[in-house]
Amino acid sequence: MTGTSREVLLVMHTGRPTTRRTAAAVAKRFAAEGIRLRMLEDERDRLELDLPPGFEPVLVPEEPGRAEGCEVILVLGGDGTLLRGAAIGRMCGVPVLGVNLGHVGFLSEAEEDSLDMAVDAIIARDYNVEERMTIDAVARMGDVELGRTWALNEVCVEKASRERILEVTLEVDGRPVSSFGCDGVLFATPTGSTAYAFSAGGPVVWPQVEALLLVPSNAHALFARPMVVAPDSKLAVEVHPHGSEAILDCDGRRTIALPPGARVELCRGELPVLMVRLDGRPFADRLVRKFDLPVRGWRGSRLPGDDRGDDD
């Protein structure tokens, strides 16, 4: 079959042989259903594909917006791979469906054993799409803009030198809140509350909650606790002018160097990331599954297929 108009962008972790074999099988299944793959140029050469004429992948560079015209971005890998897919799809509003072939894979919607279900859902267009908040950040030095970027999980302003302490002042809605020395400060979305912010002692926030998190990392101060602020709050962090250099890091993927005296301004992102939901199960189930939380003895209402909480 040729002349298909349906396309899916495939983003994957090519370093694992099992992922490459899985991707080849997915490509063959899509082709049989009249769906053509779009792939990243740097990833195509790692795959051995056996596809019918007219279904060779369309190759694109890994750049924002290169998913334009695709139905879905299918991500095979862990959270790092999903963040790559989100960066490609955010600008053009293409939803991301993650299948975890890595470790925890908290952002992924499906696991390896439910890959077939995820592929079936794409073929049948049987899925829901939800918006996830992002954070926009702009770094300035006086009147000079050093750069601007965004994050799905978190924006981290951290010390550039391991042996130095970063001195910062925090600002919320135009008012100073606290100054202290620290390793860094994280500004996270609800989606990112289970990532770096969680490791730094921040709260877990359900994705449906609209809020921004401010989480100091190893702060040397009495009042340097995590804060949850309104989704439309304007946040800022100023690096002390006589202190050490810092780095602005977004999702571990995009960085901006911050000299002493720099200021970073943050707010709710103008564009959300769209993510595919398949089964609609509660976020609490994901927490329990991903972190293997103990729930033995629970006697509440069961969902279909629920195997948690029994004492036997």
Phi-psi region of 147 (alpha: psi -120 to 50; beta: other; left: phi over 0): left
Give the integer Cα–Cα distance in Å for 113 and 110.
8
Is residue 79 annotated as part of the catalytic site, yes or no?
Answer: yes
Burial 199-238 (b: 16+ CB within 10 A, else e): ebebbebebeeebbbbbbbebeeeebebbbbeeebebbbb
Give the integer Cα–Cα distance in Å for 167 and 222.
15
What tokens were used for 93?
């509003």
Give the integer Cα–Cα distance in Å for 263 and 270.
20
Give the integer Cα–Cα distance in Å for 307 and 296.
10
Are 1 and 34 within 8 A, CB to CB? yes
H or E element in which residue 99 lies: strand 96-100
Distance of CA 171 to the CA centre of its chain: 25
> Could you say which of 45, 50, 79, 249 is catalytic?
79
For residue 22, give the amino acid letter: T
**Nearest-CA neighbor of 217 among 165, 259, 252?**
165
**Nearest-CA neighbor of 2 among 27, 36, 43, 44?**
36
Give the integer Cα–Cα distance in Å for 168 and 205.
25
Residues serving a catalytic function are: 79
